[in-house]
Structure 1
């Protein structure tokens, strides 16, 4: 080993040793509670339903359960409109049910992450109701109310869910909402409002939750001039929103100082709009949060992914550029799916490749990267998108708003339906299929949303019984990442791109303390890598047979993932 490599590895070892927090070893699992498991038969998933499936999650090998919002809510945006931050929504159970879930998870070595929604609340929250009834009340200062003389909104800002970002009250005032009109934005400029939020966060941490996934946090700072923005030709509203606006770091420093820093907890921020220049402030060693979701390399509808070498190479570049930057300055949460997106196989693979090798190649690619991997419920089964024949089959408020706005702008119903089927949030929100029985074992009642029609063939019971299933592979992959001789390297080791000359290959090395793993994921045609007859590399994990030739060539068929130990 040359001196430069030795010094590099020494730096890597020291850095890793100083930052080996417990959560960097963890694999996270996201639960959408409405759709996970219904214990009381009312058709809606609940907390007791999650508790009864903790053994399933423990067998899979996950460590931290992020549960989407379970606070009291009218459910306009499926819980992201919070009416009471201190009480469990009765549709999910009781406060005692949550206490039981936290305790039972702890017995199995798992922690519970709650979803913290503090950019906005519900219009049914008592703060907002008081503000409506008493314009001069303290609570009125918790929101952005404005009056105008011309019966028009204060400006032309657009809601992310479609339409104007302002709604008028009965007494003629306007209030700001970045999302749905039922989700008024909270005024973070008000120190009394911030104190209320901090006290609530600390009370939950005192109850034993392991931390929070923090929703839409980059929106909390606004442009207080409330000036209109230019709109593109043919558009009704501006496309830009106020993410990571100047002045936000003062709020986030205070939030951490008054809450998270006082506990051994983990915080995961949904932080769109964070630039490379500000990443360290959000997720560096002294950042506002333990990590943020890395949206920079995740595939989305603006960058269509095709199963062609050039397209794979483009995706790889976004991924690698982001990872090379973030490893210098902090920590990221990495994912293929979540409750706001389409299913992974549909985002990343042609339908012809929604097979085991394709899905497990995707899993290996992201699960062994540097960062904290998140598995979304059903992802471990290889679930795919469903199909909805009309807008009346959609449940998501965002989809419904986008549908109406699209029609107003002259888009065709056919075009809108195709887009919502491909990218709509309902794709990930269908009830979890536990078995092939009626309603997939999810409920004994009528499910709040229809199950994916393929649930008799794709369900947990069948997957767990099949040694070659996607579920079994995820279990093995999670164990490989966390346990045994390579656990530290995969949890704390550095990331280094490899073999970038092959456009259909996503390859990288993980290094720590003299150990090196080479991860090969072939998304292109059959590939042969020549390591030479004297190679001492050995296969330590793969999603299928890895064939060596006597001359030291490794054959990789399409969608083969192979992990080699190089030292």
Structure 2
């Protein structure tokens, strides 16, 4: 594996709208990120990924872009962003933008021109099909947000356009080389501006199985999941390789793909030495649909890393802006505590690859738990979750409870800076409800507490960057340990040193027989190094939910 500048970095995702508001309008802004750069420096962050801040009507919280070359006034100006890039560089922090090019906003100039002349140049930037009322639609695909992917083209009763996400997000036609050239020009414009790279959104969707055709319905709405089409679509590599050649590779830019459905044989093409992307997110645990258990989680992340061993790097997460809070999903409710949050942090963080922290994760932010009214939430995907729950026979209260567990708004509530008004996020009215738990879970209460979740993350990052161990954590082999032992998540990182991560993911103690003696305890989630083992023994007893990161003899 060729060594790259980004291999030893730690990344952090900012959801700007909810991070920190400096002007009292209830919406986080770029100046809020600038003001908190020293927060990231102290924590040990190297790369900041900003969720979209481009001009947008915010139908899907900025993932519907109306101008790729400008900043939405809600967040600030281009000059503010330039200042953020410059101030970040002073602190060795690179700024990564969100690249949303499967679709744009229906308020983008391209789509307006397509509506004015569907048969002209810009009509070919989109998927526009002839359709008359009463006739079957071009295909029966269901949008990710519910309902058909087809919508009537504004101003035309006999035409429809494709949107696999929100109807205000028309899909861009990547089969058109003129469209691709415009996208590459825009990407390079941003890289010339000094950003470190991009996180690439929903990129697998850019390749459609053409011509459009139906698949068997999987609900009584007569429609089918997008996954059926994606499983049959082929040839995306040509687009991705062209994009990488025309953009990222020229700049040695960092690129992380939001990739699903990739096949094992495609991994070297995606994240190999000269892959389409620097890295891609590991969504293996996020894709588990049944109730999470420690063994399910272990098997998912172990399999994901075993399949890329020696090929490339995954980006490791427990949550993001599209997922509920990780601690609320992966840890049983009756076991949720600072200790278990620290345990989960170390498990995912010390795997091979690039660790990503999502805003608020480092202070242990949790799900809302209770939603009293759907109008208290904001996400455009909530309606489909709620209506489908009611359709399946759940009561209104049960449907709201489902949203309290599944809604993306769980991760989007404002950052909890303090126990003061609006959690210290804004002096105005927050754009989204504050999580009521902010009085107990907030940065101000954790900063000077050596046993806090925040300081654990700081220590975790410092351990990964410790010159004595960095090479092993970054390039060392990943070797699972006692993979079949129930509720134990344990693995080796073997390089210059031999490090072992051991987590007892249950409420009862476990006895572990180690392959050799422990040389040194590097990190633990208990307040003091446990007395239940000695340097002369290879057998240890892990207390309930105990984590140990140790250097082995």
TM-score grouping bracket, smaller chain normalisation: over 0.9
Write the deviation string for residues 324-354 of structure 1: whole angstroms up to 9, x where unpaired: 1111322111100100111111111122221
Query: Hey, what does 1:243 align to over in structure 2?
Result: 230
Query: Hey, what does 2:150 align to over in structure 1?
Result: 166
Cα offset, 1:312, TM superposition: 1.9
Cα offset, 1:412, TM superposition: 4.2
Write the deviation string for residues 463-499 of structure 1: whole angstroms up to 9, x where unpaired: 1021111001000001101123101110111100012
Write the deviation string for residues 45-96 of structure 1: whole angstroms up to 9, x where unpaired: 0000100000011111111000000100000000000000000011000000
Query: Hey, what does 2:543 align to over in structure 1?
Result: 557
Go from structure 1 to structure 2 and tell me whether the alpha carbon gap of 1:411 and 1:180 turns closer, same or farther (over 3 Å shift). farther
Query: Hey, what does 2:510 align to over in structure 1?
Result: 527
Question: Is the partner of 2:447 in helix, strand or coil?
Answer: helix
Contact 1:47 1:98 in 2 (8 A): yes
2:92 paired with 1:104:
no
Contact 2:376 2:432 in 1 (8 A): no
| Number of residue-to-residue matches in the alignment | 542
Contact 1:292 1:332 in 2 (8 A): yes
Cα offset, 1:537, TM superposition: 2.9
Query: Hey, what does 1:304 align to over in structure 2?
Result: 291
Write the deviation string for residues 92-113 of structure 1: whole angstroms up to 9, x where unpaired: 0000000000000110010000
Aligned pair partner of 2:99 in 108, 112, 116: 116
Query: Hey, what does 2:214 align to over in structure 1?
Result: 228
Matches within 5 A, 1:241-320: 241=227, 242-243=229-230, 245-296=233-284, 298-300=285-287, 302-305=289-292, 311-320=293-302
Query: How far apart, CA to CA, are the structure 2 residues paired with 1:373 and 1:367?
Result: 5
Query: How far apart, CA to CA, are the structure 2 residues paired with 1:32 and 1:475?
Result: 20
Query: How far apart, CA to CA, are the structure 2 residues paired with 1:475 and 1:190?
Result: 47
Query: How far apart, CA to CA, are the structure 1 residues paired with 2:11 and 2:129?
Result: 41
Write the deviation string for residues 504-534 of structure 1: whole angstroms up to 9, x where unpaired: 1101001113x211111110221222449x8
Query: Hey, what does 1:453 align to over in structure 2?
Result: 436
Aligned pair partner of 1:478 in 461, 471, 481: 461
Contact 1:334 1:373 in 2 (8 A): yes
Cα offset, 1:276, TM superposition: 2.2
Aligned pair partner of 2:187 in 180, 201, 205: 201
Write the deviation string for residues 278-297 of structure 1: whole angstroms up to 9, x where unpaired: 2222112221101111112x
- Cα RMSD for the two superposed structures: 1.7
Query: Hey, what does 1:5 align to over in structure 2?
Result: none
Query: Hey, what does 1:157 align to over in structure 2?
Result: 141
Query: How far apart, CA to CA, are the structure 2 residues paired with 1:382 and 1:71?
Result: 29
Query: Hey, what does 1:331 align to over in structure 2?
Result: 313
Aligned pair partner of 2:336 in 354, 365, 375: 354
Query: How far apart, CA to CA, are the structure 2 residues paired with 1:72 and 1:336?
Result: 29
Deviates more, 1:328-337 or 1:466-475: 328-337
Write the deviation string for residues 424-474 of structure 1: whole angstroms up to 9, x where unpaired: 100000001111211111111111011111112211111102111100100
Query: How far apart, CA to CA, are the structure 1 residues paired with 2:31 and 2:99?
Result: 21
Contact 2:294 2:330 in 1 (8 A): no
Q: Structure 1: give runs of 5+ residues left out of the alignment.
A: 1-14, 306-310
Query: How far apart, CA to CA, are the structure 1 residues paired with 2:141 and 2:409?
Result: 26
Query: How far apart, CA to CA, are the structure 2 residues paired with 1:180 and 1:418?
Result: 24
Contact 1:341 1:424 in 2 (8 A): yes
Contact 1:301 1:423 in 2 (8 A): no
Deviates more, 1:100-109 or 1:390-399: 390-399
Query: How far apart, CA to CA, are the structure 2 residues paired with 1:162 and 1:536?
Result: 53
Contact 1:32 1:377 in 2 (8 A): yes
